[in-house]
Amino acid sequence: MKVAKPGSEKKLTLIDVAVAAGVSAITVSRVINQPEKVSEALRQQVQKAIDMLGYIPNQHASSLASSKSKVIGVSIPSLSNVVFTDVLRGVYDVMGTAGYKVLLVDTHYSPLEEEKMIRTLLSQSPEGLIITGGDQTRTCHNLLQKSRVPVVQIMELLEEPLDMNIGFSHWQAGYDVVTHLLEEGYERIGFIAARMDPRAQQRMLGFKKALEDADKSWKNFIVTTPEPSSISVGCELFKSLVALTEGAVDAVFCVNDDLALGALFESQRMNINVPKDLAICGFNDIEASRFVNPSLTSVQVNRYEMGVKAAEMIIDRLNGKLDEPKVVDMGYQIKKRQSSTNR
């Protein structure tokens, strides 16, 4: 078969692919739009022809013909944060296998930017949406409700989710971290945080409540900043906490591991022994937590599995499975390591 060259007038069609693959045009269409409904061998046969010809499917035409876009919109607050990278891997793995395309937007932790990005996603006629948290503006909330597409809110448990919800209680995690530190013999526990998005605020509220229940004070033991989190910011916040408490702090709960690593490095520069004189606990359990010395106690969440489950919830809904749980608690685990357990 003669293949059209780039720049030539002949435009490749579905029929060209069908002829090259030795199958019907309907089979080619099914491989492109519903790959889960054909055998792996047939899919590879057609894909080989597509690759050989350099054929690019017209997804817009396919969506008009089938009334399905095969697009899933995903909204996250940060593309650089490893926490969301892990979630996205799970989403992509499931959606790719099921033949869906993921359209990703970054809201930069701004509800107003999120509203703008949700409008953009909805303009692409997505079949489902995965969005982060429940801090949407009223307008965004209304847009999502009127869209009539399945929506999964991820990363936290919500009292009144828009539709489906998967996450865990940040409040309870904050409470449990303090309980762990108290059980290990630490009494003057500080808290440092950056950005202060709704999930960070919930961890702080859990922190406060646990200390109140233990008849311990948290006043003058909290230092926060609206800046983005980083190791260097963790260093500065820890120095501020030590100055604010006049060195009385003997444990610090950091709202994420970047800050915790900064606190650890700064404590070492200040000749503060961890964990003998100071306990440090982070959040998210990134890889570095296991390899620093001393190793860092942190709150572990199954982020990849959360992405997988969120994607599966969307697909189940699209396939008419209405009996799945609408709210899923992923839970968490405090990974106790040297930075808080060797006193």
pLDDT digits (tens, 9 = 90+) for 224-250: 999 999 999 999 999 999 999 999 999
Q: Compare 33 and 308 and report the one with higher pLDDT.
A: 308
Contact (Cβ atoms closer than 8 angstroms) between residue 298 and residue 335: yes
Q: What pLDDT score was predicted for residue 343?
A: 59
User: Angle at CA 289, nearest 5°, toward 287 and 295?
Assistant: 140
Residue 326 has pLDDT above 90, yes or no: yes
Which residue has better confidence, 7 or 89?
89
Residue 283 has pLDDT above 60, yes or no: yes
DSSP state, residue 44: H
* Strand partners of residue 166: 154, 328
**182-209 confidence digits (pLDDT tens):** 999 999 999 999 999 999 999 999 999 9
State the pLDDT at residue 311: 97
> Is residue 2 pLDDT above 50, yes or no?
no
pLDDT of the residue at 264: 98
145-152: average pLDDT: 91
Residues 151-169 have pLDDT tens digits of: 999 999 999 999 999 999 9
CA dihedral 150, 154, 159, 164 (to 10 degrees): 20
pLDDT above 90 covers a percentage of the chain that reads: 75
Q: How many CB atoms lie within 10 A of CB 150?
A: 19
Highest mean pLDDT among 177-181, 216-220, 316-320: 177-181
How far is residue 244 CA from its own chain's centroid? Answer: 34
Cα first-last separation, the chain:
76
Averaged confidence pLDDT in the chain: 91
Number of H helices, E strands in the chain: 13, 12
Contact assessment for residue 69 and residue 127, using Cβ atoms and an 8 Å cutoff: yes
**Mean pLDDT value across residues 123-137:** 94
Return the number of other C-beta atoms located less than 10 Å from residue 50's C-beta: 19
Two tokens, residue 297: 């106690």
Buried b vs exposed e over 152-182: b needs ≥16 C-beta within 10 Å? bbbbbbeeebbbbbbbbbbbbbbbbbbbbbb
pLDDT in tens, 45-62: 998 988 888 776 665 555
> Using 50, 70 and 90 to split pLDDT, how confident is the model at 74?
very high
Q: Omega of the bond prior to 275 within 30 degrees of 0, cis?
A: yes
Residue type, 148: R
Residues in Cβ contact with 56 at an 8 Å cutoff, skipping those fewer than 6 apart: 12
Query: Other C-beta atoms within 10 Å of 11: how many?
Result: 9
Q: What is the pLDDT of residue 123?
A: 86
